[in-house]
């Protein structure tokens, strides 16, 4: 894509590869990143060589050069209900800070399908699993970092045969039991995201709304292409979409985004807004390596507001 780029790639991409991990892994991707004290903490997904995923942890002083801890951070539970539902692996974490604690939502895979689990940590040393917070056939749950009228909110993505996989919102008073779900955003026919969309990074507040970086997928004769878009949700009512970018903000371009474990994928699970008005954006490249870049928050907001597209198709399917 020619012209001005909203997301500027870091010159040292990929910033993390399987070679940087001190235990045997085939991939390092789909990582969440958050600032904890004066460090950046990354929780990444890594495929083991049996095809199951674990979650590893890396730390950084500058948000770009990460050092991986010697052991995986979260591996499938050995017993109990989590053991039953995580038997095939734990994937695609997201981190959200609420009231001083960090909540991690991740995909739990098993013979029963994929559902979302919630864990909590205060220091990234000790982690406590709290609950499985969806039924089967859900992925990509991101929490909002504050309550709305006393209730927590999340964006989620149920799988369904009758509609394209879309972004929904649900509410909870305890982070465990969720309901009042509504469909907020869907892919548009013959658009870059026409196959499906899903939540990406934990939303962050801007003066014009919550900015949410999501992924959209286009099916080609040569397989699916995963790209990123941005949406703005009203600050006091995240169920109200203010605007969605008509164009993608990032697509696979670099060799390590176009080829790897799954080709032509950029997939985002984390973004860190900075005091200087930029946001660091993290994405998995081809489900194999971690990449990072930065963007001006105002430019992303403007891209949503100045070149918007409908959040949901109209009744004629457009
Ligand atoms: C999705 C998930 C992601 C992955 C993407 C591209 O369905 O499995 O974890 O990054 O496909 O393979």
Quick one: pLDDT at residue 113?
Answer: 97
Residue nearest to atom 4 of ligand 1 (CA): 287
Instruction: Give the atom of ligand 1 at the shortest distance from the alpha carbon of 261.
Output: 12
Which of these ranges, 1-5, 92-96, 177-181, has the smallest mean pLDDT? 1-5
CA of 217 to the centre of ligand 1 (A): 10
The DSSP line for 247-268 is S-SB---SHHHHSSSSSSBEEE
Q: Is residue 7 assigned to a domain?
A: no
Task: Tell me the β-bridge partners of 229.
Answer: 214
Token pair for 291: 């990449």
Taking the model in full, what pTM does it have? 0.97
- pLDDT, one tens digit per residue, over 199-248 is 999 999 999 999 999 999 999 999 999 999 999 999 999 999 999 999 99
In this predicted structure, the answer to whether residue 149 has a pLDDT above a threshold of 70 is yes
Instruction: Count CB atoms within 10 A of the CB of residue 2.
Output: 4
**Cis peptide upstream of residue 14 (ω within 30 degrees of 0):** yes
Domain carrying residue 25:
12-309
| 317 part of a folded domain | no
Q: Residue 208: inside a domain, yes or no? A: yes
The response to whether residue 226 sits with its C-beta less than 6 Å from ligand 1 reads: yes
Give the pLDDT band (50/70/90) at residue 71: very high
Number of domains composing the chain: 1
CATH number for the domain harbouring residue 214: 2.115.10.20
Residue 318 lies in a domain: no
Q: For 257, how many CA atoms within 13 A lie in the half-sphere containing its CB?
A: 22
Distance (Å, whole) CA 18 – CA 92 = 16
The reply to whether 316 falls in a domain is: no
Q: Is the CB of 262 under 6 A from ligand 1?
A: yes
CA torsion sign, 164 to 302 to 269 to 101? negative
Q: Which residues pair with 8 in a beta bridge?
A: 294
Taking a C-beta distance cutoff of 8 angstroms, is the pair 202, 181 a contact?
no
């Amino acid at each position: 894509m020619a012209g001005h780029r909203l997301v500027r790639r870091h010159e040292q991409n990929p910033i993390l590869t399987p070679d940087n991990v001190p235990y045997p892994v085939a991939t390092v991707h789909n990582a969440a990143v958050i600032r904890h004290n004066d460090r950046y903490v990354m929780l990444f997904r890594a495929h083991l060589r049996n095809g199951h995923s674990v979650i590893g942890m890396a730390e950084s002083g500058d948000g770009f050069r990460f050092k991986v801890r010697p052991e995986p951070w979260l591996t499938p539970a050995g017993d109990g209900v989590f053991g039953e539902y995580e038997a095939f692996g734990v994937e695609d974490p997201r981190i959200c800070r609420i009231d001083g604690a960090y909540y991690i939502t991740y995909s739990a895979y098993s013979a029963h399908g994929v559902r979302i689990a919630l864990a909590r940590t205060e220091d990234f040393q000790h982690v406590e699993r709290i609950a499985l917070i969806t039924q089967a056939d859900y992925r990509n749950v991101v929490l909002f970092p504050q309550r709305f009228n006393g209730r927590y909110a999340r964006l989620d993505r149920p799988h369904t045969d009758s509609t394209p996989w879309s972004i929904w919102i649900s509410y909870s008073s305890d982070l465990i039991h969720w309901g009042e779900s509504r469909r907020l955003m869907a892919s548009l026919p013959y658009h870059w995201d026409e196959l499906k969309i899903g939540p990406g990074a934990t939303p962050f507040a801007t003066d014009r709304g919550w900015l949410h970086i999501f992924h959209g997928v286009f099916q080609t004769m040569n397989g699916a292409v995963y790209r990123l878009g941005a949406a703005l949700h009203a600050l006091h009512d995240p169920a109200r979409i203010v605007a969605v970018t008509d164009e993608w903000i990032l697509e696979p371009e670099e060799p390590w985004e176009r080829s790897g474990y799954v080709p032509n994928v950029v997939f985002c699970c984390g973004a860190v807004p900075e005091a200087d008005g930029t946001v660091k954006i993290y994405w998995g490249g081809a489900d194999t390596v971690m990449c990072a870049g930065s963007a001006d928050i105002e430019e992303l907001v403007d891209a949503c507001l100045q070149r918007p597209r409908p959040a949901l198709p109209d009744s004629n399917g457009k």
